[in-house]
Chains A and B, each alone.
Chain A
Amino acid sequence: MSMRNREWPVALALTPVLILILAPFVWLLISSFKTEAEIGRADPFTWPADLMWRNYLDAWQIGGFGDLVGNSLINLVGVVILSLITCAPAGYALAKIRFPGREWLFYAFILGLTVPVQAIVIPLYQVLFGLNLVNTLTGIVLVQVSNGIPFGIFLMRSFFIGVPDDLIEAAKIDGASHVQILTKVFLPISTPAVQALVIISALSTWNDFFLPLIVLISPEVQTLPLGLVRFASTYASDYRLVFSGTVISFLPIILLYILMQRRFTEGLTQGAIKG
């Protein structure tokens, strides 16, 4: 009962905080529909006289956003699939199989969980160069997967540890191999872990800037954040293009999140706490 009484005062008190925090989005959205002259009038609070949908069309074409979104999608799908293929089996092995060197591997992965990617960037670039992967989407996918492997393995491992060993024994008696146990027993009951891995790796890949900055040099292969930064510095003085381009680069993921917010929230918190 007392809960219900507390609801509206708290919600009311939070509203100004919410307005402050969302103000950048609202401001950008409104400004993105203005003419250059309206933006130049230095009054961010006036409504545009006409909604300039043209700004979006211009930004989309001039900024090559179609290609950027396409590259980001290829990047994302590649990283998510490869992360699952690499982390699920490794997490299973670390959780459920005793083998020599297991502890050492565990520490090696902790090292990767800790050391920031900026701290290994020079040799990383040299390796990519040696493999002819600079300026390729394959290169960025492989590097990002590797970067996420320690977290992904720990995440899968800590879920798999919670699965009773009896299940493995029973499956073994039925003649199942470890690969079959993983794919037919463990993965189907690990939806929360898989969901967490997919959401976290998708979000971090979609938003990554540092690795694409190093790896993706030509505009044709660049991803959305990198392309937007290049676009914003090229057209720095054409504010209506910068504003509408910026909205283009964050609106899709925000709409997706609003549609799927439960899964996002579950995935992110489960992943963070379990990993």
Chain B
Amino acid sequence: MAGHTGGLSARMPKRRTAGSGSAGGDASTAFWLMAPALGLYAVFTLLPIAATFWLSFNSSAGFNTSASFVGFDNYAKAADDPIVWKSLAHTFLWLAYHVVMAGGLGLLLALAVNRLRITQVFFRTAFFLPHLVSLAVVGVIWANIYDPFFGLMNTALTRIGLGAFTQGWLSDPALVLFSVNVASSWQGFGLYMLLFIAGLQNIDRSLYDAAEVDGANAFQKLIYVTLPGLHEVTTFVVSLAMINGLKGFATVFVMTNGGPFYQSELITTYIYRLAFQSQDHGLAAVLCILLSLLAIAITIVFNRWRARLSQ
């Protein structure tokens, strides 16, 4: 396989055509223009997708052991594994938290920031800062913020007279998934805010003038002009937030490693655990298929929705 990719990149400088415009010449030009991308993509994405599918029907106890065909055994095993169901439920909850918290905050701040003229750049820049931090680093930061002894969260709550609300943010099984998601959403909302601002700036100003002529107040303008004008961006942000949520891994891995009692285990963290720690590749592959199907379903549903809305 080394030879294969090597061959593709070695041939790259030679891609050259007469540019005759004939159909055959164009097809071979297209092939050479596609070759570097397609070669890399085939080896590191398409092949692994196919292999994951194959792996889900085989049993293998590690990277160095040979696999044997077991039919749907891995799928049956997954259905019997309570942690699979837990991680699936947590993933859905995680998506909902992320869409509401990060997407919602992004929308609210965009609506506010977009009204600013003089200080807009300042607020936009400042609100975007958390998005520049790697989610793994966000995990390190927020693990310290939640620290029960010297962490910012509990001390600040106590200081402003809300001592009753101090919590073991990461040790309480009922709270842990939410707490970790707050960290992820803190990092994520800035991008959604920028997208909403771009959407707001694309709304035709004359619609507001027309609404004003009709005597609409600020609230009516929001409901009848702004929100409908944002529907395409909203669909996009919600689907992006869901896909980002589905990929969520680093904050959980760093802050709780799925604990306590698997209460923050996501499909992604369970895949990692199965694949690289307990080396149950068959079961891990079933979860990989599940994760892919979820991602594909989300993409299709939202594209349909988007198409219908923009008719």
Contacts and interface: CB of A to CB of B under 8 A. Distances in A.
Interface string B40-60: 110111111101100100000
B33 to A, nearest CB: 4
A249 interface: yes
A122 B118 CA distance: 51
6 contacts: A93-B34, A105-B34, A131-B5, A243-B144, A272-B195, A272-B236
A123 B55 contact: yes
Interface of A: 3-4, 6-7, 10-11, 13-14, 17-18, 21-25, 27-28, 39-45, 82, 85-87, 89-90, 92-94, 97-100, 102, 105, 108-127, 129-132, 142-143, 145-147, 149-150, 153, 172, 175-182, 203, 206-210, 213-214, 224-226, 228-229, 232, 239, 242-243, 246, 249-250, 253-254, 257-258, 261, 264-265, 268-269, 272-273
A113 B116 CA distance: 35
B117 A45 contact: no
Contacts of B46: 108, 111-112
Given A126-B51, A146-B43, A97 B129 contact: no
Contacts of A125: 63, 275
A28 B112 contact: no
Interface centre among B45, B52, B268 (most CB of A within 10 A): B45
B126 A99 contact: no
What 5 A-B pairs come out closest when comparing CB atoms? A123-B51, A177-B19, A146-B44, A207-B134, A120-B48
A24 B122 CA distance: 18
Given A86-B36, A89-B34, A246 B19 contact: no
Interface of B: 1-2, 5, 12, 15-19, 21, 23, 26-27, 29-31, 33-34, 36-38, 40-41, 43-49, 51-52, 55, 63, 109, 112-113, 115-119, 121, 123-130, 132-137, 139-142, 144-145, 149-152, 155-156, 159, 186, 191, 194-195, 197-198, 236, 240, 243, 246-247, 249-250, 253-254, 267-268, 271-272, 275-276, 281, 284-285, 288-289, 291-292, 295-296, 299
B292 A42 contact: no
A86 B52 contact: no
Contacts of A261: 121, 124-125, 128
Contacts of A113: 299
Given A44-B156, A112-B45, A129 B31 contact: no
Contacts, number: 304
Interface centre among A114, A147, A242 (most CB of B within 10 A): A114
A149 B37 CA distance: 7
Given A114-B295, A228-B137, A122 B1 contact: no
Contact of A225 (B118, B127, B134): B134
Given A89-B37, A127-B47, 8 more contacts: A14-B123, A87-B37, A122-B275, A132-B2, A206-B134, A229-B140, A243-B144, A261-B128
B45 to A, nearest CB: 5
A94 to B, nearest CB: 8
Contacts of B254: 229
Contact of A126 (B2, B15, B63): B63
A272 to B, nearest CB: 6
Contact of A18 (B63, B127, B159, B246): B127
Contact of A120 (B31, B49, B121, B123): B49
B137 A250 contact: yes
